[in-house]
Structure 1
Amino acid sequence: MVIRRALGAIRNPAQLVLAAFVTLILVGTALLSLPFAWDDDSSHRFVDALFWSTSASTVTGLGTTDMSGFSLFGELVLLGLIQLGGFGIMTIGSVFALVASRRIGLRQRMLAQAEIGAVDIGELRSLIGAIAKITVGVELGIATILFVRFVAHDDIGVARAAYSGLFHGVSAFNNAGISLYSDSLVQFADDPFVVFPITFAFIIGGFGFPVLVEFGRRIKPRRWSLHTRITVAATAVLLVAGPFLVLVLEWTNVDTLGPMGIWDKLQAAWFQGVTPRTAGFNTIDIGAMHDETLNIMTCLMFIGAGPASTSGGIKVTTFAVLGFAMWSEVRGDSDINIFRRRLPVGISRQAMTIALLSLTIVFTTAVILDTISPFSFTQTSFEAASAFGTVGLSTGITGALPTFGQLVLVVVMLAGRIGPTTFVMALALRQRQRAYAFPEERPIIG
């Protein structure tokens, strides 16, 4: 009765999404605070458990301690948090409710729509089922490929190879970027049987579930919805631009790509150019990169991947809408047209709101970290964008930040995970029509 009253008191489904993720984080923190969640006998701070729980639940990948410090139990807790956070615990709750009662209410539909971005709320049942199939299928497929690779080339045993393959498959598809290895995937920088399956997994996960479902329904691009067209086009541009810029800027860097052969350079640049969009794995030392490269990667992390995906950031559709809005304004067009479709009047305002709000969060976080730590603004802005974009890449400063700075990143990771999607839904729920309009007056712009 108490729970029912509490749910009834929450009018905005976005608040339920926030409450659900906070609950998951607190449960994860409690489990990671147990002594047997760690391999060593030393005492660990509560902040470390909270930070790791938030990082895994929001599929970010940042960490204040080395992954080698966790026991098998701790690793399994992280794996569970990644899966629940990536799939969306509200989506899982809707699946359970659907199985139990064979029906789903409007509130639950709107709640699940806020998390998975269902384009048509009436198709939520089939969409949730498709999400489950896609998630399990991709994760098991990548896990199998990695298992074969680890068994064939590493002397770690069948059981450990299977576990490592599954862990990295789940982490990759959910764009968590958490690896069982202390150096992430640096030791596999020249291994195509690890690099390309991992990149395939997090690129697929970054498209977003509505796009993946539409891929299965409509094979021909000309039949795709506008949302899918924008997501695919913007993703393709960033998948080319990111690796190209990393390759050019790091080609002669003796601490990153410099000593590698041409093929290894291309492979490493590809991986490190696509992973900032949300994945968080790295095959070269991020802290050794040039500042110019770090700034480019900061921009990529801020943009993120597709809506309703396992990524953070402002999302590629928001970035594309802003770009087309700018282009329309420059050309003097009254409408914003994309792929022979005219966008609604209010969508550019929503995109601008999300972008400015996100920029404010990242910039404020970077300034705070810069103020309370000895690190440069390039490093702190990179860390802030990584946390907000739920990416997980770091120049190596996370564990060295003051406790207050780490707590700030906890809040930013949570805001980045639920922010853009739930904020758009909150805007949609608050839309209202006035019976009157104020007099129009134009200020001077520019």
Structure 2
Amino acid sequence: MPGLAKSKKNTLLRLTPPQVMALGFTIIIGIGTFLLSLPAAHADGTAASLLDALFMATSATCVTGLSVVNFGAHYSLFGQIVIILLVQIGGLGFMTMATLIALVFRRRISYKERLILQQAMNQSSTEGIIRLIRKVFLYALVIELAGATLFTLRWMFEMPFGQAVYFGIFHSISIFNNAGFDLFGGIPGRAGSLMHYTDDPFINLVSMALIILGGIGFIVISDLLTYRKNKKLTLHSKVVLAASGGLILLGGTVIFIFEFANPSTLQPLSMTGKVLASLFQSVTARSAGVVTLDTTMLRQATQFFIIVMMFIGAAPGSSGGGIKVTTFAILIGAMVAMVRGKEDIVLFRHRITKERIHKAITFSLLSFFLIVLATMLLSTTENFPFLGILFEVTSAYATAGMSMGLTPQLTTFGKTLIILMMFVGRLGPVTLAFSLTLRPGKELYRYPEGKITIG
């Protein structure tokens, strides 16, 4: 027995950081699947199918928000708590949670574990990684408590105080972690998500603040909080803030223009309501999942634009998905440099290394090909319009959680494929590829340089 235990330990030590991350998420999803398959997790007291339980556990752990059932009405209090705990673990990252537990029990964090944390937090080195983990937990706790308090103060005027507190805590965690699960679908006569609050400035502003804070990442939040002391921001923070701000304004403007005269969305609202709804859909499209407008009622041009926004996604080191705004910024920088005849990609007077450029291109192309392949496969198995299938696949891969109604109608194959897309999207295709391959050996030679005609 001691020899067996030692063998298992040695096997774990041989795992690379990407493999540990993939294994960790798989274990968390497995535990969640078991708990959500229990009769106690469902309002009617019946056991769920294993596939549906797996789908919901994956959606929660990967902070996606897609649901095969009416979430608010289908799950019992126990089931809802399981989901929100999975969201919290998935949002912060299981390695972050494990590290916090280890720190509480005063256990030393090994160098291998620091390497895994470096991978999980998208850091370039292990220096200061434990200090960052402590900050992550503190920032998340403070922001979620603030959001829960503000939501409670608003909802206590329309529901019992205890229910308002529970709704406040649940939605604050769900929205900050960009998960998109909501409880309003379980209230008779109420629309799901935040569609009841389309022109409510308080709910809109609090929700958008939570989504943005959860989407820019803890590294940027830390940078902003220490700005008064350091009087400077890192290049990463500058790029994330500039790209995120630009995309929010661009998205809000495009949605406002295309939906202004749409009688099913913006037309009936006041000018304030139109602006709020346009900005909210722009903010939530890049990963959050909660909506204040019915996505199925948007014009096709708007729906396609949202697909593009979901594909871009949030920032690295956040709970959001997509190719990430930094990757998008590098791609735009490459295009601008090429048009201007420049050799280097320069962002905020900093030259981007070739390694980062290659990684951005690789990640974007892999993401694009995965979405195209999944869309083609679902187009042959699901009886649904093509744009709706593309929308759902992109939402799953980008862990955005927005839906045009396909998810509850998915076939067994469709559910399985969407589960895989959510899992790959949360880990990242490059990380998953590294977790499935052996350590690359050092190249002993290089081929001669060749030239290919482009354009």
Q: Same fold (TM over 0.5)?
A: yes
Q: Secondary structure at the match of 1:223?
A: coil
Q: What are the equivalent positions in structure 2 for 1:266-277 lying under 5 Å apart?
A: 266-277=275-286
With over 3 angstroms needed to count, the CA separation of the structure-2 counterparts of 1:435 and 1:220, relative to structure 1, is farther
2:308 pairs with 1:299:
yes
- Using the TM superposition, give the Cα deviation of residue 267 of structure 1 relative to its aligned residue in structure 2, in angstroms: 1.1
Q: Where does residue 128 of structure 2 map in the other structure?
A: 123
Q: What are the equivalent positions in structure 2 for 1:23-422 lying under 5 Å apart?
A: 23-42=27-46, 44-67=48-71, 68-151=73-156, 153-154=157-158, 156-182=159-185, 183-219=192-228, 223-419=232-428, 422=431
Deviations 1:263-304 (A, max 9, x none): 111111111111010000011111111110010000000000
Q: Runs in 1 of length 4+ with deviation above 4 angstroms?
A: 423-427, 429-435
With over 3 angstroms needed to count, the CA separation of the structure-2 counterparts of 1:337 and 1:404, relative to structure 1, is same
Q: Where does residue 188 of structure 2 map in the other structure?
A: none
Q: Secondary structure at the match of 2:123?
A: coil
- Using the TM superposition, give the Cα deviation of residue 119 of structure 1 relative to its aligned residue in structure 2, in angstroms: 4.2
Q: Where does residue 20 of structure 1 map in the other structure?
A: 24
- Using the TM superposition, give the Cα deviation of residue 425 of structure 1 relative to its aligned residue in structure 2, in angstroms: 7.8
Deviations 1:1-59 (A, max 9, x none): 2541331231x211110111111111111000000111114553222111111111000
Deviations 1:351-370 (A, max 9, x none): 00000000011111111111
Q: Which runs of 5+ in 1 are unaligned?
A: none
With over 3 angstroms needed to count, the CA separation of the structure-2 counterparts of 1:435 and 1:80, relative to structure 1, is same
- Using the TM superposition, give the Cα deviation of residue 333 of structure 1 relative to its aligned residue in structure 2, in angstroms: 1.5
Deviations 1:391-412 (A, max 9, x none): 1000111101211101100000
Give distance in 2, aligned partners of 1:90 and 1:425: 18
- Using the TM superposition, give the Cα deviation of residue 241 of structure 1 relative to its aligned residue in structure 2, in angstroms: 0.8
CA RMSD, 1 decimal: 1.9
Give distance in 2, aligned partners of 1:409 and 1:295: 19
What amino acid is the match of 2:43? Answer: D
Deviations 1:312-333 (A, max 9, x none): 1000000000110121122222
What amino acid is the match of 2:121? Answer: I
CA contact (8 A) 1:277 1:303 kept: yes
**TM-score of the aligned structures, taking structure 2 as reference length:** 0.93
Give distance in 2, aligned partners of 1:175 and 1:129: 21
Give distance in 2, aligned partners of 1:127 and 1:353: 28
What amino acid is the match of 2:356? Answer: I
With over 3 angstroms needed to count, the CA separation of the structure-2 counterparts of 1:91 and 1:100, relative to structure 1, is same
Give distance in 2, aligned partners of 1:424 and 1:309: 21
Deviations 1:199-254 (A, max 9, x none): 10010010011111111222489721111111111001011011111111111111
Equivalenced residues, count? 442
Q: Which runs of 5+ in 2 are unaligned?
A: 186-191
Give distance in 2, aligned partners of 1:45 and 1:252: 43
How many percent identity over aligned positions?
37
Give distance in 1, aligned partners of 2:449 and 2:320: 40
CA contact (8 A) 1:114 1:425 kept: no
- Using the TM superposition, give the Cα deviation of residue 255 of structure 1 relative to its aligned residue in structure 2, in angstroms: 1.2
CA contact (8 A) 1:63 1:398 kept: yes
Give distance in 1, aligned partners of 2:124 and 2:133: 12
- Using the TM superposition, give the Cα deviation of residue 162 of structure 1 relative to its aligned residue in structure 2, in angstroms: 0.3
CA contact (8 A) 2:37 2:47 kept: no
What amino acid is the match of 2:91? Answer: G
With over 3 angstroms needed to count, the CA separation of the structure-2 counterparts of 1:431 and 1:350, relative to structure 1, is farther
With over 3 angstroms needed to count, the CA separation of the structure-2 counterparts of 1:195 and 1:403, relative to structure 1, is same
Q: Secondary structure at the match of 1:346?
A: helix
Give distance in 2, aligned partners of 1:372 and 1:16: 33
Give distance in 2, aligned partners of 1:38 and 1:297: 33
With over 3 angstroms needed to count, the CA separation of the structure-2 counterparts of 1:52 and 1:423, relative to structure 1, is closer
With over 3 angstroms needed to count, the CA separation of the structure-2 counterparts of 1:430 and 1:321, relative to structure 1, is farther
Task: Say which is worse superposed, 99-108 or 310-319, in terms of deviation.
Answer: 99-108
CA contact (8 A) 1:31 1:77 kept: yes
**TM-score of the aligned structures, taking structure 1 as reference length:** 0.95
Q: Secondary structure at the match of 2:127?
A: helix
Give distance in 1, aligned partners of 2:452 and 2:266: 50
Task: Say which is worse superposed, 124-133 or 87-96, in terms of deviation.
Answer: 87-96
Task: Say which is worse superposed, 258-267 or 18-27, in terms of deviation.
Answer: 258-267
